[in-house]
Chains A and B, each alone.
Chain A
């Protein structure tokens, strides 16, 4: 909808937009600043904070004292593991619904979506109990499975909308030329589907990384990812602003970077294709 405007209008709009943008971004900016201060300086007034010495001390402390990397690697394993497992299960399902639709396809898609709307707290105890029975409470494999299941509807839906955009004629042409199902999958569909699969992976890694209901309730010391590790700062002792800031900055940076790449997919993925 962009239209031409006068340079003066554009300048005014630019100033307003930048001010608003910086205001919204400010909390993140501020923890970056605090993470580069000593604990003693981090609780001072904003002016004193800005004029005090800069140091990387807190980053070193967080890594030394709190097994930061254990939690970081738990996050990586859980986010990547659940997403990749979800892709393995969802690709065949989305493929079959997109290219061999039947009367029930629509119903199945809607039903999958409906499972996503089941409030987690409604099934908290059964899952908790099953985890104890199966001996996977506070284990990474348990969280991989749960996060895979809660994101599976989104993965199937995203892949489905991407696959739908691949023209069916191409597959038919391949079939006419004698390609069997395997050849069709490997040489025709896969290359065309890779961008869609990549965006789906990106968005779901973000969602799994930030998931904070199951990760808080189903982990303790061993399998806790960063969401739960950060939550341990909710009842801290002594001065902790700089440490909490450093831990937070390290926890959100990878996802911020991935998120900026996935802006477009975000809309499609989270609205199930209702807004494009």
Chain B
């Protein structure tokens, strides 16, 4: 059992981490809250006084707000749908005994390690460029007019790029979950004459439920703050301005700090709603 002495040492050892994180959380958060109630234009007069909830109202009622919310939801929803559906299929495939399993696994998870600016630019130029891109060349082979991917089909293109990056994550987690499934259970079901499809829906899918939830929550948190992929591809043009990107533009590009900060507070609230669900699942696991 721990003694009183070791307890006080333990508290001291915990202190640096908690102090740093507390400062990291509180100081910027308080500053953001403070700015959100001010008219603050660093390049055009600086601090122009308190404005109450003006920024909050203006942020929501600006014509860019609802499109940004829609864009954010389409990106998060689209990427989740694609990565989870394909992720389940891929995990089932990789779980089968095949030759060269290790190498295939490596090929599949590789995109996750590609830095976001690289994947954004590589897709934008080498693949989606309407003149010299890979797709344009392929389209021309079939006599078709190349698609202006990032301007005429900007949202599907972005969802595709981001899905490519996140598919490995979903696959890896779902594969880990499938591999933890008791093979005897599957064999028993097989002997009882369960067809592959019913084995999938009644044994594998329920077993995956928890892993799928975790994938959904973690990806949602990361996808809500997608930035670099948009920054290097469309820079927010062609209807690809997400909430994160809108706030970034308000704060750093047009230097309207008050308005951007109010947007930041909305983003924090939104992320917290998702976070509560994720924390509940992680917390449950902690008790076991």
Give every chain A residue within 8 A of B24 (Cβ-Cβ).
115, 149, 152
Give every chain B residue within 8 A of A97 (Cβ-Cβ).
10, 14
User: Which residues from chain A sit less than 8 Å from chain B, CB to CB?
Assistant: 1-5, 9-10, 13-14, 16-18, 20-22, 24-25, 27-28, 30-31, 34, 43, 45-46, 89-90, 92-93, 95-97, 99-100, 102, 106, 108-110, 112-115, 117-130, 149, 152-153, 156, 181, 206, 209-210, 212-213, 216-217, 226-228, 230-231, 233-234, 240-241, 244-245, 248, 251-252, 255-256, 258-260, 263, 266-267, 270-276
Is the beta-carbon distance between B20 and A2 smaller than 8 angstroms? Answer: no
Known: A96-B14, A152-B21. A10 touches B99 (CB 8 A): yes
Residue of A nearest to B140 (CB): A45
Give every chain B residue within 8 A of A30 (Cβ-Cβ).
126-127, 134
Give every chain B residue within 8 A of A18 (Cβ-Cβ).
98, 100, 104
CA A144 – CA B230 in complex, angstroms?
24
CA A27 – CA B201 in complex, angstroms?
33
Is the beta-carbon distance between B232 and A231 smaller than 8 angstroms? Answer: yes
CA A43 – CA B127 in complex, angstroms?
11
Closest Cβ–Cβ distance, residue B107 to chain A (whole Å):
4
Residue of A nearest to B286 (CB): A106
Q: Which applies to chain B's interface (DSSP): helix, strand, loop or mixed?
A: helix
Is the beta-carbon distance between B25 and A121 smaller than 8 angstroms? Answer: no
A-B pair count, CB < 8 Å, reads 325
Is the beta-carbon distance between B112 and A13 smaller than 8 angstroms? Answer: no
- Of the candidates B113, B227, B247, the one having the most CB atoms from chain A within 10 angstroms of its own CB is B113
Is the beta-carbon distance between B214 and A110 smaller than 8 angstroms? Answer: no
Place the interface of chain B in its size category.
Answer: 35 or more
Is the beta-carbon distance between B180 and A276 smaller than 8 angstroms? Answer: yes
Q: Give B233-256 interface residues, CB cut-off 8 Å to A.
A: 233, 235, 244, 247-248, 251-252
Is the beta-carbon distance between A230 and B115 smaller than 8 angstroms? Answer: yes
Closest Cβ–Cβ distance, residue B180 to chain A (whole Å):
7
Q: Give B136-157 interface residues, CB cut-off 8 Å to A.
A: 137-138, 140-141
Known: A227-B115, A256-B110. A113 touches B127 (CB 8 A): no
Q: Digitize B122-134: 1 where CB-to-A-CB distance is under 8 Å, 0 elsewhere.
A: 1111110000101
Known: A149-B24, A181-B6. A13 touches B225 (CB 8 A): no
User: Which one of A113, A119, A233, A263 contacts B109 once the chains associate, using CB atoms below 8 Å?
Assistant: A263
Closest Cβ–Cβ distance, residue A190 to chain B (whole Å):
14
Is the beta-carbon distance between B187 and A3 smaller than 8 angstroms? Answer: yes
Is the beta-carbon distance between A127 and B28 smaller than 8 angstroms? Answer: yes
Q: Which applies to chain A's interface (DSSP): helix, strand, loop or mixed?
A: helix
User: Which one of B13, B126, B138, B281 contacts A96 once the chains associate, using CB atoms below 8 Å?
Assistant: B13
User: Which one of A121, A252, A275 contacts B114 once the chains associate, using CB atoms below 8 Å?
Assistant: A252
Give every chain B residue within 8 A of A106 (Cβ-Cβ).
283, 286
Is the beta-carbon distance between B121 and A231 smaller than 8 angstroms? Answer: yes
- Of the candidates A17, A89, A114, A130, the one having the most CB atoms from chain B within 10 angstroms of its own CB is A17
Give every chain B residue within 8 A of A153 (Cβ-Cβ).
21
Q: Which 9 A-B pairs have the closest CB atoms?
A: A92-B13, A123-B28, A126-B31, A212-B228, A96-B10, A21-B107, A93-B17, A122-B264, A259-B113
Give every chain B residue within 8 A of A3 (Cβ-Cβ).
97, 183, 186-187
Closest Cβ–Cβ distance, residue A31 to chain B (whole Å):
6
Known: A121-B267, A227-B115. A213 touches B17 (CB 8 A): no
Known: A13-B98, A124-B252, A152-B21. A231 touches B231 (CB 8 A): yes
| Subset of 11 A-B contacts with CB under 8 Å | A1-B183, A2-B97, A92-B14, A126-B28, A126-B32, A212-B116, A213-B225, A231-B231, A252-B113, A252-B115, A266-B112
Stretch at the interface among B54-62, B73-81, B169-177: B169-177
- Does B37 make an interface contact (CB < 8 A)? no
Is the beta-carbon distance between A119 and B267 smaller than 8 angstroms? Answer: yes
Is the beta-carbon distance between A100 and B93 smaller than 8 angstroms? Answer: no
Residue of A nearest to B24 (CB): A149
User: Which one of B17, B29, B122, B260 contacts A90 once the chains associate, using CB atoms below 8 Å?
Assistant: B17
Residue of A nearest to B17 (CB): A93
User: Which one of B122, B179, B283 contacts A248 once the chains associate, using CB atoms below 8 Å?
Assistant: B122
Is the beta-carbon distance between B228 and A213 smaller than 8 angstroms? Answer: yes
Is the beta-carbon distance between A244 and B125 smaller than 8 angstroms? Answer: yes
- Does B191 make an interface contact (CB < 8 A)? no
Give every chain B residue within 8 A of A117 (Cβ-Cβ).
221, 271-272, 274-275, 278
